[in-house]
Amino acid sequence: MGAGSGRLMAALFDGKTINLEEIARWNSAPVEADGHMHWDVHQMFGEIKSAIGKAYAKYGKAIVSAAVDTWGVDYGLLDKNSKLVNLPYIYRDARTNGTMDEVFAKLPKAEVYGATGIQFMFFNTIFQMQAELKKAEALKKAESFLMMPDLINWMLTGVKANERTNASTTQLYNPVKKTWAFDIIKKLGLPERIFSQPFAEAGSSVGELLPEIKKELGIEKLDIVATASHDTASAIAGVPSKTSPCSYINSGTWSLAGMELKNPIINEASLKENFTNEVGVEGTIRFLKNITGMWLFQKSRESWSKAGLEHSYAEVDAMADAAPAFGLHFDPDCPDFAMPANMVSAIEKHCLERFGKAPKGVGVLARAIKESMALKYAHVFKVLEKLTGFNHDAVSIVGGGSKDLSLNQMAADAMQKTVYAGPTECTSLGNVIMQLKAAGDISSLEEGRKIISASVEPKVFEPNKNAASKWADALENFQKNVLR
């Protein structure tokens, strides 16, 4: 389940390789209530049940299990009668405006980071919960807190549990103690009772599908499994890594650049650089940084479309490739681009104010986005290598953004590293291998990754040595004049 749509994928495992087949797809349109944006979880659940029904109509008893992964930070609250207190809020809803300062008035920033190791982003669950405190009605009624995939699992099975990888995105979880950060929860004034559900581990069974849903869909048996329910955690599990530790960029709406470590890195340097320590499968740590990714293209295409410029991604890519290299660059993570009414206008205005000129035209702007993303990747990996002490000559780029061939090449050139691009369906594959583990077909993440490597063949992008000096100069300028 993504923030804009959901899919049900069938994974066919022959004992050696995995083949994926899309069974159903649906839109997850937000709804407005009381001036706020919410997820229509009831509509989503109806789509999920319909999709499971379609899968059973095709594969019947051959289906072993199902597992849900979603984005992080969003959650649902249930009352004492196990009823939703309200529809879950969307993480980009404006209710979090100002809540970071309100939290820091209660707790020093360093204390929050020291207990959780999570990067500060305005939509983190901790800041959403501060918004809840300002109204208080919902928290007074609440008895249970479930992250979005856990909420879906409860609707499917009646079992309440918080899967650990998604719980770690809240900035209310301690990755060292491996439990909720109750010191932070208490000092914020949040009710501790709502965090009393057990944790579920990726690769374990949550429970059987509820009898009434089985009857509704005509299903005899279906085991619901806890996968790595944060989609990034599933995506990283699905990386057929060429490095140790695993070094990756999960490229989608966000680009998550990081390494898979055995232990968290929580210190002054990682706080200063705003790196996060999210939990991965089998106790690993996803030490990474969020970079604004294909969001810039998605919103720019919307802006072009409204202006009567209908261009496919392929057409935009061709125009970007034809545009002059090393034009204007900007920081993809500037707050100006978080939720603009018009992304093209926002980028042009930002560049005009910062640099005295703007990238005009579809191709020029698209190239500016790609080169800026590639330079941000290069910058982040230099910091990442300094913080971890690991320096790799290769990076895996996975997810939907790995289909962008020119961006992959720019990333290789900017980082001067070999890029292994793919699989695009890394999240589905990571989800699946945790189901294989729950079924006893494999025993470890390592074994699952070997199956993924046998199932897909990444495309290789070697850095252009002849362009190394130009990219090095561009990176130096980017770090000095853009990121200042």
Domains of the chain: 5-229 (3.30.420.40), 232-422+458-484 (3.30.420.40)
Rounded mean pLDDT, 162-183: 98
Examine the pLDDT at 243 and tell me if it is beyond 90: no
Q: What is the per-residue pLDDT for 135?
A: 87
pTM of the model: 0.93
Q: How many Cα atoms occupy the beta-carbon half-sphere of 348 within 13 Å?
A: 12
Q: What is the per-residue pLDDT for 241?
A: 85
How are beta strands 418-421 and 394-398 bridged, if at all?
Answer: parallel
- b/e 288-314 (16+ beta carbons within 10 angstroms → b): bbbbbbbbbbebbbebbeeeeeebeee
- Beta strands (DSSP E) in 137-267 are 144-147, 162-163, 173-174, 179-180, 199-200, 204-208, 223-226, 247-251, 254-261
Q: How many Cα atoms occupy the beta-carbon half-sphere of 62 within 13 Å?
A: 11
- b/e 344-371 (16+ beta carbons within 10 angstroms → b): bebbbebbeebeeebbeebbbbbbbbbb
Please name which of 426, 382, 381, 373 lies closest in space to residue 404, comparing C-alpha atoms: 373
The CA distance from 128 to 442, in Å, is 38
299 phi/psi in degrees, rounded to 5: -75, -30
Q: What is the per-residue pLDDT for 2?
A: 87
Q: What angle do CA 149, 152, 157 make, to 5 degrees?
A: 120
Q: What is the per-residue pLDDT for 339?
A: 85
User: C-alpha 414: how far from its chain's center?
Assistant: 23
- pLDDT band with cut points at 50, 70 and 90 for residue 3: confident
**Helix residue ranges, H only, 389-444:** 405-415, 426-439
Q: What is the per-residue pLDDT for 484?
A: 81
Q: Indicate which residues carry an active-site annotation.
A: 231
Report percent pLDDT > 70 for the chain: 100
- Chain mean pLDDT for the chain: 96
The CA distance from 321 to 374, in Å, is 14
Phi-psi region of 158 (alpha: psi -120 to 50; beta: other; left: phi over 0): left
The CA distance from 413 to 465, in Å, is 8
- b/e 412-447 (16+ beta carbons within 10 angstroms → b): bbbbbbbbbbbbbbbbbbbbbbbbbbbeeebeebee
Higher-pLDDT residue of 338, 248: 248
Q: What angle do CA 113, 257, 391 make, to 5 degrees?
A: 100
Report percent pLDDT > 90 for the chain: 95
SS3 content of the chain, % helix, strand, coil (to 5): 50, 20, 35
The CA distance from 47 to 465, in Å, is 49
- pLDDT band with cut points at 50, 70 and 90 for residue 28: confident
- pLDDT band with cut points at 50, 70 and 90 for residue 473: very high
The CA distance from 334 to 319, in Å, is 25
Q: What is the per-residue pLDDT for 92?
A: 86
Q: Report whether 148 contacts 28 (CB < 8 A).
A: no
Q: What is the per-residue pLDDT for 4?
A: 79
The CA distance from 360 to 40, in Å, is 38
Terminal alpha carbon distance of the chain:
36
User: C-alpha 149: how far from its chain's center?
Assistant: 13
Please name which of 447, 438, 440 lies closest in space to residue 163, comparing C-alpha atoms: 438
Rounded mean pLDDT, 352-361: 96
**DSSP assigned state of 37:** E
- How does pLDDT run across 357-405, given as a tens digit for each residue? 999 999 999 999 999 999 999 999 999 999 999 999 999 999 999 999 9
Q: Report whether 133 contacts 77 (CB < 8 A).
A: no
Examine the pLDDT at 170 and tell me if it is beyond 90: yes
Please name which of 71, 89, 114, 98 lies closest in space to residue 35, comparing C-alpha atoms: 89
